[in-house]
Amino acid sequence: MNIYPASHLPDRKVRLNNGKEYLWFSGTDYLGMGHHEGFLSYLKEGFSMYGTHFGSSRNNSLRLSIYEETEMALAKFSGAPAALTTSSGMWAGQLLVKELPGIIVSGLPDSLLHLPKIHCYYAPDLHPALWGLEYICDDVSWEEWAQDTVWRIQNSDQDDIHIICSDSVGSPFVQSFDFSIFRQLPFSRQIFLVVDDSHGLGVIGKDGTGVYQELSSFSQIRLIVTSSLNKAIGIAGGVILGDENVVETVRKSPFFAGASPVVPAYMYALKKLLDTNAYPEAHQRLLSNIQYVATRLKRTKLFVHKKDYPVFCSLDNKLFDHLEENEILCSCFSYPQPTDPPVTRLVISAIHQKEDLDRLAEVCMKF
């Protein structure tokens, strides 16, 4: 894999340290927040009010109210009852994995003579953020895994507890998952559905609000969503979305109390962006760009693509070289493990211009 060093954050284009300039179709800044003028302005205001960081625990005697205020706004945006922010999306997932047994036990009646069995079901290619100690990679399709999971739960003992873990969207090789299969789950079991929405929040759902609202209609399951905020949302942090009991239980965890929080200036900027409707506006621009280029890229028959999603994937690694030769830079690397096959991944952003998309389509057609 070639390395392309740069000293500046890419926007539509990236200039490398060797002086070469490329159109940039990579990364996960789907909404282009890295160069959003309002965001930069709000950050400056935030740093002037809160300084560069908050060297304290969120559970200290002194509480900065901006955290709770922003979490309430983020919960409202996503459609969740409550939200809790963390220093990263990876930590949001791992923190939840650590605390979920405590959440389960706290909901059990005191009259139980013994704890019920807890079964975990990990989707194929699940992001490491939701890996538990007993995680085993399942080498089947997502659909086969989901069908088997439903069957196992339907045929389980009445008192067993079940935890289903999945990404909302497959990455880096984009996959679309039909969660409606979980409507077949029985109402007579205790079932948790834990979803990593890192590549969905800000991108999928109405106005880019993610998967929480859609999946919360599955009344036979208890839904918890974790997500990185450092992708479409543009904030260096993560979030756990769930009911009040989930959020309050995690908040009391020593792993939450002992971890550094998101920089408060970023929380201030996030609340401003939510209050000013910046994300739905950027999401509309993103949708427009996707729809503009999708038909042209589909004609090439080179890509796997999910409707209205900004990622186009190919396993033909020669495509990456062809694009690079034509001054277009995307990504092609093994992820999350170095032994995984490299994926050529094109990413459309809300800040791309029509001329950029025309050039991309033209070069792909030539290939």
Structural domains of the chain ordered from first start: 13-25+278-366 (3.90.1150.10), 37-275 (3.40.640.10)
pTM for this one?
0.94
pLDDT for the residue numbered 110: 62
Q: pLDDT grade, residue 332 (50/70/90)?
A: confident
Pick from 138, 196, 168: which is nearest to 306 by CA?
168
- DSSP tag of 341: P
Mean pLDDT of 5-14: 91
pLDDT for the residue numbered 348: 98
Please tell me the distance from the alpha carbon of residue 298 to that of residue 305, in angstroms, as a whole number: 8
Which positions ≥6 away from 57 have C-beta within 8 Å?
Answer: 257, 258, 261
What is the percentage of the chain residues whose pLDDT exceeds 90? Answer: 84
pLDDT 10s digits, 117-144: 899 999 999 999 999 988 888 789 999 9
Alpha-carbon 115 to chain mean position: 33
Please tell me the distance from the alpha carbon of residue 329 to that of residue 196, in angstroms, as a whole number: 28
With a cut of 60, say whether residue 5 has pLDDT above it: yes
Residue with the two structure tokens 């926007």: 11
Q: pLDDT grade, residue 113 (50/70/90)?
A: low
Helix, coil or strand: residue 176 = strand
With a cut of 70, say whether residue 111 has pLDDT above it: no
pLDDT 10s digits, 169-216: 998 889 999 999 999 999 999 999 999 999 999 999 999 999 999 999
Question: Contact at 8 Å (CB) between 98 and 240?
Answer: no
With a cut of 90, say whether residue 358 has pLDDT above it: yes
Please give the mean pLDDT across all residues of the chain. 93
pLDDT for the residue numbered 274: 98
Mean pLDDT of 275-281: 98
**Sign of the alpha-carbon dihedral angle for 344, 347, 348, 351:** negative
Mean pLDDT of 13-39: 95
Q: pLDDT grade, residue 106 (50/70/90)?
A: confident
With a cut of 70, say whether residue 314 has pLDDT above it: yes
Pick from 86, 74, 76, 63: which is nearest to 251 by CA?
86
pLDDT for the residue numbered 333: 78
With a cut of 70, say whether residue 64 has pLDDT above it: yes
Which positions ≥6 away from 21 have C-beta within 8 Å?
Answer: 13, 14, 15, 327
Mean pLDDT of 81-102: 95
Please tell me the distance from the alpha carbon of residue 140 to that of residue 177, in angstroms, as a whole number: 14
For the record, the structure tokens of 38 come out as 């309002």
pLDDT for the residue numbered 339: 76
Mean pLDDT of 24-44: 96
pLDDT for the residue numbered 171: 86
What is the percentage of the chain residues whose pLDDT exceeds 70? Answer: 98
Least confident segment among 7-16, 36-45, 99-108: 99-108
